[in-house]
A = this chain, B = another copy of it.
Amino acid sequence: MHSGLSIIEENYLKAIYKLQQMDGRVSTNELASEMGTSAASATDMIKKLSNKAVIQYEKYYGVQLTTYGANLAIQLVRRHRLWEVFLHDKLGYSWEKVHDLAEELEHVNIHDLADRLDAYLGHPKSDPHGDPIPDGSGQLPKTDYIKIDELRERDSFEIKGIVDSDAKFLNYLTERNLGIGCKLRLISIDAYAETYEVLIEATHQSLVWTKRIAQNILIKKT
């Protein structure tokens, strides 16, 4: 259960996992920027994680998680998201607040804490931001969410997830009564301005999404 990694090493590991999702290979600069440190510090840490067999490292080439490292990362993500569910569902925190708290709680990993928490929460499939929660064996529930650019005018849809849940974006959504499970309809597409006019079914409120905003929202056609 105990990973042999320090809290800081675990945070780097999670960052590598996140970047690898998108890019495959992770460069020193990418990692440094994600962690908010210097490239020199990232190089130092890369060497440490490499010595612990968590990542595979080739000089001037970048890093990749080993199978072992990927497993550790997924369990870390699992704990993070389970804590987010706890904080949101049981303690009533808003989805903007849960991330910072889970960022600390995720590092507690003794006994079978994650499994007990999972059972207590009723084996949730996704966290408050719509991100899928890996099961005990590291399996991620398969989702088939799309983005709004795959819809046609007058299609109905539901918000299912957020690509990058940074606090400012979550706040933007909350202020406009948008959240996971929210039902909407695509009213019109402005192809030149690259904007989408949508209507919230519940309130009949109408909004315009720029491409940048729309690309950050995962949906399902209904």
Contacts and interface: CB of A to CB of B under 8 A. Distances in A.
Contacts of A105: 105, 108
A206 B117 CA distance: 38
A154 interface: no
B108 A104 contact: yes
Q: Tell which of A104, A117, A120 has the most Cβ of chain B within 10 Å.
A: A104
Interface stretch (A21-29, A51-59, A91-99, A128-136): A91-99
Contacts of A111: 93, 97, 100-101
Contact of A104 (B90, B110, B116): B110
Interface in A72-112: 90-93, 97, 100-101, 104-105, 107-108, 110-111
A113 interface: yes
A120 B90 CA distance: 7
Given A92-B116, A100-B110, A104-B107, 4 more contacts: A91-B120, A104-B108, A105-B105, A105-B108
Interface of A: 90-93, 97, 100-101, 104-105, 107-108, 110-111, 113, 116-117, 120
